Amino acid sequence: MAFFRRSPQIVSAQATARRSAKDLHVGETGTICCLEDPEMALKLLEMGCVPGVQVRLSGRAPLGDPLMLVLGDQEYTLSVRASEAATILLKE
Amino acid sequence: MAATASNLAHAGAIAPRTGSAAEPRPLRIALIGNPNSGKTSLFNQLTGLNQKVGNFPGVTVDRKTGVAQLTATQRAEIIDLPGTYSLYPKSLDEKVITDLLYDKAADNYPDFVVVTVDANNLRRSLLLFTQLGDLGLPAVLALNMMDVAERHGVNIDLAALERELGVPIIPMNARKGIGVAALKIVMAQRLDAPPVRFWEPDERLLLLVRQIRYYFDLHNDYLALHYAQQYRQIGFLSADEKNHIQELTQQAGFNATAAQAAETIGRYARINEILLETVTVTRTETREPISNRIDKVLTHRVGGYLIFLGVLFLLFQAIFAWAQYPMDWIDQGISALSAVIQANFSGPLVRLLTEGVLAGLGGVLIFIPQIALLFGFLAVLEETGYMARVTFLMDKLMRPFGLSGKSVVPLISGLACAVPAIMGARTIESWKDRMITIFVTPLMSCSARIPVYTVLVALVVPDQAAWGIFNLRGVALMSLYLLGLFSALGSAWVLKKVLKARERSYFIMEFPVYQWPRWKNVALTIYQKVQAFVLQAGRVIVAISVLLWVLASYGPGQQQATAEAQVRQAAAAQQWDAPEISRRVASARLETSYAGKFGHLIEPAIRPLGYDWKIGIALLTSFAAREVFVGTISTIYSVGQDADMGTLQQKLSAEKDANGQPFFTPARAFSLLVFYVFAMQCMSTLAVTYRETKNWRWPLAQLVYMTGLAYVAALAVYQVLA
């Protein structure tokens, strides 16, 4: 699958370089490029985190985790843990 | 509404169901949809109060079924399935959906499904719909929340969407009941499988899919693909059949995760094409949606927690203060009833009825106000969407202990009563998180411990100020509560290390849009929870009450009669008055009863904790419910059941040990207090744990663990202080 980058070298080499939804600033919008963790990806895909969809970080819980993500132009809000958001990679 | 009319015309074009009056069974219709898509509202609209809650076999999910009167002559059985985002179950609860829909030969296989879809979230909602369509299930699409969609400038070309999806679409607003009549008319028709296919398995999978399809004689490829994906969890397949599928998938090099991801992506691509032609969005509002603005306040880093504390305060106010009135009425009503019975009849059977059955029944009914209020309160929080924000606020705090944000509500409810709290743990999807929550919730000091705490703290802690502002008794009481809280968190942490996860824990959760609660749904929730408690936990409680009554009322041989005769002789010599005599008689009979024998029997075991056989009796009788401790102690020290706390405390202070020193030393009292903080002295909790886990091992483990903890802690306290 093209959007899974399962090869461990690629993941570790790029995970530091690529931004994920976790790295967004509050209020900032990015576009989902791919999902890193295959198992987590299934759940995220079902919830509408599809590559190409816009994602906006609308807030963080007071302790910094979980995050509140607004998806697409449909304006619905997901709550995800920071560790889960880290698997949502963004386009450059 | 023109759209509705066109749908009616569409529905009318389908051949009416022939001979429906002579049908041997009514239509069976399953209601399925995303969480928060208005499925519950629609279910309530269709069935009214005509519903019953059962269980799906093997899992703890409520199986809600109801009967809908579709036309004057036709009824249908409606099954309400748990909310889900796809046909690939992520939690055990969602598995009931695939169990139901995979097996065409199953008894409960639905004639068709009604798919509730949120018109504001069409893209995501249609994912589930296209999967159902590809399984070949006849379907009706209930396009819900049309009013909100219109307000948000979402324009849906219903005729075009109907053409693209190949099923009747009913626009509706289930909260207000708009569109329900039209939906019923469509539901009364014979529906054919939808002619449209949305997605086909990749050609590379086709060989595998066909092998499975022909081996099991399945009606389409997509179902065969689901067999390949989920054969391990399909209940009705034999071990041989599962092995066969495993071999086939291994031969084909089938990668389930990749295949499922490809399917989801493929479906979204198709859905995007459909939506491009049928939906136009003209955003009328440029401001942030009101829900997001409310979130800024309710999840604020300071304000969020303050508001949550305020909500908690209100909750406790409701459970401790408001519930007290109906609880008193029930208590007095039961006492009055048993007084009437005892005044007019006599004999052992009447005593069994009043002191065993009625007392047990009272023990069940007394919880109803608290359960009703707690669940009413929680239902309102859930309905408004606030609960999701609470879990969001608390998740990070709970995770080090192996709990999730969703464990907060049960733990807090546990301060009132563990019974509804454990029932409230159902919202936790992850099996491990849920079991940990259920296991540790009874360690939170519930309201039944209050009488025990009050009596013993008042006995040994002086009523004086500490550090200027606090009352020493208040500090002691608070320490007991904190001890309960920390033991719950600590035990959760231990369990987190011990228990193996059955599935990965997720926190990915949709934030529902804030809305006013639907009072009808709240009322139904209260009704169903109370009913479940009374019928299922109630039976066990009444049975054990009767057993305990027998143990406390009867003794071996003639010992009770002898003891009573001795008391009466002494009474004649000492010239006691009549109430004093009856109190002394009750005390003597209890000592020589089986319960009294038990007290003597366990005395060696509890002596290291500082207890004597009298406390042993109280431990046994309060196994049913902690608050019985005070009543039993009153009987043993023969102050009479109705004496006020002051009288009881005088008696207890006057109690002397063998050396003539006061029996209730601080060491003994604190040992007993600590024992009651930890001990699982509540059969209602054990019964409800069994009901929720469907396994006797959990309540047994709870009993052994908590009693063991109580014993060791009380032993330590007594040995150190004494």
Q: Point out which residues pair with B78 in neighbouring strands.
A: B29, B66
Strand order through the sheet with B169-171: B51-55, B62-69, B75-80, B27-33, B112-118, B139-144, B169-171
What is the per-residue DSSP string for A21-48? GGGPPTT-EEEEEEES-HHHHHHHHHTT
Joined tokens for residue A37: 């963790």
Whether residues A42 and B396 touch (CB distance < 8 A) is answered with no
Contacts of A39 in chain B (CB under 8 A): 257, 504
Exposed, middle or buried by CB within 10 Å (0-12, 13-18, 19+), for A18?
A: middle
d(CA B311, CA B381): 9
Whether residues A77 and B292 touch (CB distance < 8 A) is answered with yes
Candidates A34, A35, A46, partner chain B, best to mutate (most B CBs within 10 A): A46
Whether residues A59 and B124 touch (CB distance < 8 A) is answered with no
Q: Which residue has the tokens 């309710």?
A: B298
Range with the poorest average pLDDT among B114-123, B223-232, B521-530:
B521-530
Confidence of residue A7 (pLDDT cuts 50, 70, 90): very low
The answer to whether the CB of B156 falls within 8 A of the CB of B143 is: yes
pLDDT reading at B170 higher than 90:
yes
What is the per-residue DSSP string for B408-457? HHHHHHTTT-HHHHHHHGGG--SHHHHHHHHHHGGGS--GGGHHHHHHHH
d(CA B418, CA B403): 17
- Contacts of residue B536, Cβ cutoff 8 Å, sequence gap at least 6: B687, B688, B691
Candidates B507, B514, B515, partner chain A, best to mutate (most A CBs within 10 A): B507
Q: What is the topology classification, in CATH, of domain B2-187?
A: Rossmann fold (3.40.50)
Find how far residue B44's CA is from the centre of its chain. Answer: 20
Q: Point out which residues pair with B114 in neighbouring strands.
A: B31, B140
Share above pLDDT 90 across residues of chain B, in percent, rounded to a whole number = 23
d(CA A43, CA B506): 9
List strand residue ranges (DSSP E) for B482-612, in order.
509-511
**How many angstroms away from the CA of B267 is the closest CA of chain A?**
10
Candidates B36, B86, B124, B398, partner chain A, best to mutate (most A CBs within 10 A): B124
Q: Point out which residues pair with B32 in neighbouring strands.
A: B115
Confidence of residue A16 (pLDDT cuts 50, 70, 90): low
Residue B120 confidence (pLDDT): 85
Q: Count contacts between A and B (CB, < 8 Å).
A: 121
Joined tokens for residue B311: 């909500």
Confidence of residue B21 (pLDDT cuts 50, 70, 90): very low
Confidence of residue A12 (pLDDT cuts 50, 70, 90): very low
Joined tokens for residue B60: 């703890």
Residue B56 confidence (pLDDT): 52
- Contacts of residue B454, Cβ cutoff 8 Å, sequence gap at least 6: B645
**Mean of pLDDT over chain B:** 83
Confidence of residue B176 (pLDDT cuts 50, 70, 90): confident
pLDDT reading at B23 higher than 80:
no
Find how far residue B475's CA is from the centre of its chain. Answer: 33
Can you give the residue ranges of every domain in chain A?
Answer: 8-90
- DSSP H stretches of helix in B461-518: 472-498
Confidence of residue A8 (pLDDT cuts 50, 70, 90): very low
Higher pLDDT, B243 or B368: B243
Q: What mean pLDDT do residues B424-437 have?
A: 84
Closest Cβ–Cβ partner in A40, A46, A76 for B121: A76
Q: What mean pLDDT do residues B628-656 have?
A: 67
Residue B223 confidence (pLDDT): 92
In chain A, whose CA is at the least distance from the CA of B89? A43
In chain A, whose CA is at the least distance from the CA of B149? A74
Residue B233 confidence (pLDDT): 81
Residue B12 confidence (pLDDT): 39
DSSP state, residue A20: B
d(CA B256, CA B611): 61
Contacts of B433 in chain A (CB under 8 A): none
Candidates A33, A43, A57, A76, partner chain B, best to mutate (most B CBs within 10 A): A76
Closest Cβ–Cβ partner in B120, B257, B509 for A39: B257
- Alpha-carbon torsion (B99, B104, B109, B110), positive or negative: positive
Q: What mean pLDDT do residues B330-355 have?
A: 82
Q: Which residue has the tokens 């499975």?
A: B212
d(CA B113, CA B80): 10
Contacts of B504 in chain A (CB under 8 A): 39-40
d(CA B529, CA B425): 13
Contacts of A76 in chain B (CB under 8 A): 120-121, 124, 510-511, 513
Closest Cβ–Cβ partner in B281, B509, B511 for A73: B281
Residue B645 confidence (pLDDT): 54
Contacts of A65 in chain B (CB under 8 A): 395-396
Each residue of B457-472: pLDDT tens digit?
Answer: 888 888 777 676 677 8
Contacts of A29 in chain B (CB under 8 A): none
B203 sits in which H/E element = helix B203-216
pTM above 0.80, yes or no: no
pLDDT reading at B130 higher than 90:
yes
d(CA B175, CA B520): 10
Residue A11 confidence (pLDDT): 41
pLDDT reading at A15 higher than 60:
no
Q: Point out which residues pair with B77 in neighbouring strands.
A: B28, B67
Residue A3 confidence (pLDDT): 46
Residue B11 confidence (pLDDT): 40
User: Which CATH number is A8-90 given?
Assistant: 2.30.30.90
Higher pLDDT, B62 or B593: B593
- DSSP H stretches of helix in B48-145: 95-102, 122-134
pLDDT reading at B53 higher than 70:
no
pLDDT reading at B310 higher than 70:
yes
DSSP state, residue B533: I
Residue B488 confidence (pLDDT): 95
pLDDT reading at B79 higher than 50:
yes
Q: What mean pLDDT do residues B672-678 have?
A: 94
**How many angstroms away from the CA of A82 is the closest CA of chain B?**
10
Residue B435 confidence (pLDDT): 93
**How many angstroms away from the CA of A31 is the closest CA of chain B?**
16
Each residue of B539-576: pLDDT tens digit?
Answer: 766 777 777 778 888 888 788 888 888 888 888 888 77
Closest Cβ–Cβ partner in B397, B405, B508 for A84: B508
Q: What mean pLDDT do residues A23-38 have?
A: 90
Please state, in angstroms and as integers, the Cα–Cα distance from residue B266 to each residue in B138, B221, B258, following that order. 22, 16, 12
Q: Which residue has the tokens 């904190």?
A: B482
- In this prediction the ipTM stands at 0.82
Q: What mean pLDDT do residues B6-19 have?
A: 42
pLDDT reading at B515 higher than 50:
yes
Find how far residue B701's CA is from the centre of its chain. Answer: 19
Q: Which residue has the tokens 């029944």?
A: B361
Side chain identity at B17, as an amino acid letter?
R
In chain A, whose CA is at the least distance from the CA of B283? A73
Candidates A6, A50, A60, A88, partner chain B, best to mutate (most B CBs within 10 A): A50
Residue B647 confidence (pLDDT): 67
pLDDT reading at B13 higher than 50:
no
The answer to whether the CB of B98 falls within 8 A of the CB of B234 is: yes
Closest Cβ–Cβ partner in B85, B123, B388 for A79: B388
Whether residues A45 and B88 touch (CB distance < 8 A) is answered with no
In chain B, whose CA is at the least distance from the CA of A79? B509
pLDDT reading at A40 higher than 80:
yes
pLDDT reading at B54 higher than 80:
no
Residue A6 confidence (pLDDT): 44
pLDDT reading at A75 higher than 60:
yes
With an 8 Å Cβ cutoff, the interface of chain A facing chain B consists of 1, 3-4, 38-48, 50-51, 58-59, 61-66, 68, 70, 72-81, 84
Q: Which residue has the tokens 């386009």?
A: A91
d(CA A33, CA A14): 13
Nearest to B152 by CA among B126, B175, B121: B121
Whether residues B396 and A65 touch (CB distance < 8 A) is answered with yes
Joined tokens for residue B577: 């008055």
**How many angstroms away from the CA of A76 is the closest CA of chain B?**
7
Nearest to B390 by CA among B412, B375, B400, B405: B405
Confidence of residue B55 (pLDDT cuts 50, 70, 90): low
Range with the poorest average pLDDT among B134-143, B230-239, B263-272:
B230-239
**How many angstroms away from the CA of B178 is the closest CA of chain A?**
24
Residue B248 confidence (pLDDT): 92
Nearest to B213 by CA among B201, B198, B196, B197: B201
The answer to whether the CB of B354 falls within 8 A of the CB of B338 is: yes
Contacts of A57 in chain B (CB under 8 A): none
The answer to whether the CB of B620 falls within 8 A of the CB of B601 is: no
**How many angstroms away from the CA of B301 is the closest CA of chain A?**
4
Share above pLDDT 70 across residues of chain B, in percent, rounded to a whole number = 90
Confidence of residue B1 (pLDDT cuts 50, 70, 90): very low
Closest Cβ–Cβ partner in B264, B305, B513 for A46: B264
